[in-house]
Amino acid sequence: MKPFAYLRAATADHAIDTFTSRAGAQYLAGGTNLVDLMKLGVAAPDLLIDIRRLPFDRITDTAEGGLNIGAGVRNSDLAAHPGVRSRYPCLSQALLAGASGQLRNTATTGGNLLQRTRCPYFQDTTKPCNKRLPGSGCPAREGSHRDLAVIGHSEHCVATHPSDMAVALSALNATVHLYGPEGERAVPVTDFHRLPGDRPEQDTLIRPGELITAVELPPGPIGVRSRYRKARDRASYAFALVSVAAVLELEQGDVRYAALAFGGLAHRPWRARVAEEALHGAPATPENFARAVEAELAAASPLRDNGFKVPLARNLAVSVLTSLAPHPDSEDLS
Ligand SMILES: Cc1cc2nc3c(=O)[nH]c(=O)nc-3n(C[C@H](O)[C@H](O)[C@H](O)COP(=O)(O)OP(=O)(O)OC[C@H]3O[C@@H](n4cnc5c(N)ncnc54)[C@H](O)[C@@H]3O)c2cc1C
Ligand code: SF4
């Protein structure tokens, strides 16, 4: 491993000032992704700025009735938070579907959003990869791409974003709060992750030196009737082949509000706007759910070995939406 320096930041400004004054600096949170990438030689920072002692470790109610989640909040603490479990259940379910208990005890909210792709070529420094080494090529297109993207990809990159949490945050319309050399700004999480286009090396809209300080969830009732489900090769400790986060509000059996996001399909959590539009005002039936999801997935263009993801995504989404819509004979159709 290449030698590197280590510094524990005392304040956010200390972290940012140090980052901007030292080439090759990188922030360290839980380290569960970054340290692995350093061991593989994919990341080679000269300086690690440890941000774990910054005061971003709280979950607080916002004045509007939502939740403010500090970027340093551990995945396990977020999953177990009573307000998250009761008001945003799909977020808790997504977190618990990810990694392992030990990893979740260390991994943070900010680090989870910024984790890198699991594309095997990205992690192997003996292979070309446009994301790791811009302009070197994308061997995954013709090579091993069973787990990779079926929608929104480009000739330059077909990687997927691995986070479960980000898929739930996308369906919940969360906002990412950032603080950096140019001050504070807020970005909807649906805009935070990029599609690859011709710059796959850039996963997100974060600027050099910026810190994620918090993620904010809007107030309920959005999210109360919400669910996350993940299809994967093993029952635990595996990344999503396809995952679905859905939020559904009904009125007299019709869809008053629907939010649907997919994981495992694209370079970013895929918010299914076409399906949402088709569902608005429609009776909450499995047939309408299927039609809406099929309209969304009509834009998919799978590669040689990952066409199975399209029917898997369809079936998973229809099953999740159906599970959120009570049977018409039951009294709970509010
Ligand atoms: C074996 C294994 C299995 C896993 N399975 C899953 C899974 O099924 N689902 C899933 O979603 N994830 C999974 N993960 C990934 C795991 O969730 C991430 O590694 C973790 O969330 C990253 O958080 P961290 O705090 O450790 O980030 P770090 O590794 O510390 O940092 C990751 C990146 O984010 C940057 N960063 C961190 N915090 C900030 C901040 N506040 N502001 C600016 N930059 C920041 C760092 O500089 C670095 O570039 C798995 C990981 C492993 C090792
Ligand atoms: S899919 Fe993206 S990450 Fe994978 S090899 Fe191609 S450019 Fe690299």
Residue-wise DSSP of 140-168: GGTSS-TTS-SSS-BTTB------SHHHH
Percent of the chain as helix, strand, coil, to the nearest 5:
30, 20, 50
| Protein residue with least CA distance to atom 8, ligand 2 | 129
Contact by Cβ (8 Å): 31, 40 = no
Annotate 280-310 with DSSP letters as a single string.
TTSB--HHHHHHHHHHHHTT----TT-TTHH
* CATH number assigned to the domain covering 1-54: 3.30.43.10
pLDDT at 1: 67
Contact by Cβ (8 Å): 75, 108 = yes
158 CA closest ligand 2 atom index: 1
128 CA closest ligand 2 atom index: 5
CB atoms within 10 A of CB 65: 12
92-104: average pLDDT: 97
Least confident of 68-82, 155-169, 177-191, 314-328: 314-328
pLDDT band at 179 (very low <50, low <70, confident <90, very high): very high
pLDDT > 70? residue 331? no
User: In terms of pTM, does the model score above 0.85?
Assistant: yes
pLDDT > 60? residue 334? no
Report, in angstroms and rounded to the nearest whole number, the Rg of the chain calculated over CA atoms: 20
Question: How close is the Cα of 139 to the center of ligand 2, in Å?
Answer: 7
Mapping DSSP to helix (H, G, I), strand (E, B) and coil, where does residue 22 land? coil
pLDDT band at 222 (very low <50, low <70, confident <90, very high): low
Query: Among all chains, which residue has been given the structure tokens 């003996």?
Result: 126
* pLDDT tens digit sequence for 110-151: 999 999 999 999 999 999 999 999 999 999 999 999 999 999
pLDDT > 80? residue 327? no
187-209: average pLDDT: 98
* pLDDT tens digit sequence for 85-96: 999 999 999 999
Residue 158 Cβ inside 6 Å of ligand 2? The answer reads yes
pLDDT at 269: 98
Q: Which ligand is nearest to the CA of 169?
A: 1
| Mean pLDDT value across the chain | 96
pLDDT at 333: 40
- Fold adopted by 55-334: 3.30.465
72-89: average pLDDT: 97
Helix (H) or strand (E) holding 68: strand 67-70
Measured CA to CA, the distance from residue 230 to residue 142 in angstroms comes to 26
Q: CA angle 164-169-197, nearest 5°?
A: 75
pLDDT at 237: 84
For the CA atoms of 232, 118, 296, 175, the dihedral, rounded to the nearest 10 degrees, stands at: 110
Q: Which amino acid type is present at position 49?
A: I
What are the sequence ranges of the domains in the chain? 1-54, 55-334
pLDDT > 90? residue 326? no
| Alpha helix ranges (H) inside the chain | 12-21, 34-40, 75-80, 82-87, 89-96, 101-106, 109-114, 165-171, 189-192, 273-279, 286-297, 309-324
Measured CA to CA, the distance from residue 172 to residue 179 in angstroms comes to 22
DSSP-assigned letter for residue 193: B
| Protein residue with least CA distance to atom 2, ligand 2 | 157
pLDDT at 235: 85
